[in-house]
Structure 1
Amino acid sequence: MTIAAAAEIFRHNLLPSAGGGSMPARWTNLDGRITLRTLIVIRWIAIVGQFATVAFVHFMLLFPLPIGPVLSAIGASVLLNLVAMAQHGGRMRLADRDAALYLGYDMLQLTLLLYLTGGLSNPFAILLLAPMTVGAAILSRYSVVLLTGLNLICLTILALWHFPLPWQEPVPAMAPLYAFGVWLSLSVSATFIAVYVFRVADEARRFADALAATQVALAREQRLSSLGALAAAAAHELGSPLGTIAVVAKELGRELGPDSPHAEDVGLLQSQVMRCREILAELARKPEADGGDPFERLPVTALIETAAAPHRLGHISFVLERHGKGDIPEPVVRRAPEIIHGLGNFIQNAHQFANRQVTVAVAWDERATTITVMDDGPGYAPHLLGRIGEPYLSSRADRTGHMGLGIFIAQTLLEKTGASVTYSNNRGGGARVVVRWLSVNDQVEDELWTR
């Protein structure tokens, strides 16, 4: 492993691409990921370890140390911790910049201790990787790059300038080639830790953000469905009182006669009652709860039409194909928001990339129900086919501005209903998404499907 190879890996995995402009918001929007208390506790652990090691080496092993400067460096960390605890109590959540500064100080303080006690020949020099590891797990990409650069600078300084390693007898100087090897190994380790710990932590953050977005989308669909059921129930309950008001208004109009000064008011009251009845009739046509469940059951093709309706585009034709086996009736499915939102997202995505036509084919037999969404667009990039469904992954060739979060949400929602989702490209061009539900045992009542 050479320095050039390590630098190339670091550039590809951490540095922004050239011409990318300012840092993307997702790189720096990590404020509040860690509390001050956590960093204070980590620093107290480091202080106790440093003091115990210095005391043991200097007073027990009787190795000569510049004890004054060493204790001063440790005391500076003690003072900083006490000030932080007094000002904020440790409960404050740190911004990304502040957390980077705290870890940068820890790195500089440890560098000073190593400078006073032998530099890279000190066996504890590997501890310089500790702040780097913590930073790579919690900081933004930009801060990790800066912290890694600081780490490499500290390692270089310790390799070139340092006090001799404390020892009872004269210690032969470290061979230049060996010293270079120690510096290189620590530098490469710092780079790889920065790259891989950051990527693992960033992946976890992506999935956490994507799952939160999934929950928001599902909650929205559930609220909309609940509102529809509530509207239908309200229309039913308000029908009787409005009928009574209409009868009373009609009787008042008959008793007052057309010449009464209040005849116009009574007529207005009757017209408004009729208007209310029309509104309630419209609300009553909304899906009504079935046995207390806010989601009614309907044929799978009707569910597809419902999911596709908001996403159709005038210049793109929409084709729905049905392929049932023999005399097996069309499956009936609960109007679940997970299915509507998931299928709707795939259909919307197909419309965005299609040239002329989007086709949705539904097939069923005794073993499974399969819904296939196809378009005649550019299709998925071949090198991304195995990764489609991951959050923040742009999945289409020659298109920009799509981060893949919608596909992740759709897949997550559909898999929650027991479906499997696969992605491929059509032979003649265009993308294909296959959503498949396996049939349940005939003797078991399925909450989602009725066959």
Structure 2
Amino acid sequence: MIPTADDPRLTRDQAPLAAATARKNLLQLVQLRWIAVLGQIVTIGVVEFGLKVDLPLAAMGLVLAVFVAGNTVSVMRLRWPNPVTNRELFVTLSFDALVLTALLYLSGGPTNPFTSLYLLQVILGAVLLEAWAVWGMVGVAMLCFLGLTAAYRPLVLPPGGPDLFTLYIAGAIVGFGLDAVLLVIFISRINANLRLRDARLAALRQRAAEEDHIVRMGLLASGAAHELGTPLATLDVILGDWRRMPKLARDKELAQEIEDMRSEVARCKQIVTGVLLSAGEARAENAGAASLKSYLAGVFEEWRDRRGPAVAGYEDGLAADPLVVADSALKQAITNLLDNALDASPDGVWMRSRLDGDQLTIRVQDAGPGFPTEILTGLGKPYQSTKGKAGGGLGLFLVVNVVRKLGGRVSARNRDTGGAEVTLSLPLSALSIEAPA
């Protein structure tokens, strides 16, 4: 049984996928009915004109016209945004059973070998419907068949032609083949829909797990930042006292080391403050505005000043320079990529930016050994690292999730000329000063 959007057991994330799957299943039913219409027309033509069996063509044509009209309604239904429900699928299959009953009534009733098509309706119901509706479909099929045993139009066989038993055996063979072919086609497509739905559900579960991981990391980082605040402040006071002590101030080398220590403590305090401001948020609330060119150039220059690589370069390929939010999370993501590139390639790191319409692209390239296959296939999964450090491999994980929160995506590849390339692609609207923070 395939759940539909009205199934109360579905979660909020599963309901949209179930609705999409139910819509696709209704589309498969629509296509199956067109095949059925064609098959019925061919069968009627063979029986009437090939076997010379007298059939009420006008009445059967009217039934087929009703069937075509019902299928046309289903086609129009697919254009509505409302989700396809289990009740709708049940009504659709019941309508098909009634149409089949009308055709069988006009062509021999229970003596018609195509009564085996009732089994097709029941099997489709077992695949598509909830338990109550499946049994309801069994009841509909049974009632229709029992109704045929009570009233039907007998076949009028031509004199000198094949007897009824011979016709029944031939029709049973055709009916069995038709059942088998239609079931294989339909079930194969339904299974494809199910596999696609399961893959999307797995992706949603993976994303939920990653987001939960980020929340826990944010809580830990925030807690650590709070705990570090007091000892850093104490160190700052002690270093300030040391700087003013005459004995230490006279030693120029020691005094310079004290100043260096104070600068590093101040930097640690700035980092802690930034963590507290942006913990758990994709965009810091105190983020200011800047032009896109100055923002990206500033991110790169600040990183280069901190890491001091002489072989790093930035290529500005921006065709425009709009005003954007100086997003701290994106800045940290770019910095992580540059750090990773420098660790892998001390001999060359490059950052390139480009703007195509509303699409901002940032590429970070290096001249290192490139990514192993397992990193490329599992890009963005936590704790995937080639550095061998415990707890490593969170850099790309955080980058992927930050960019995804901004509506973008991250891709990676190994360059033909050697080294690796990581590309950030995100809509410029994600950084617009009008976008909600």
TM-score by length of 2: 0.40
TM-score by length of 1: 0.39
The structure whose residues are more often helix, as a share, is: 2
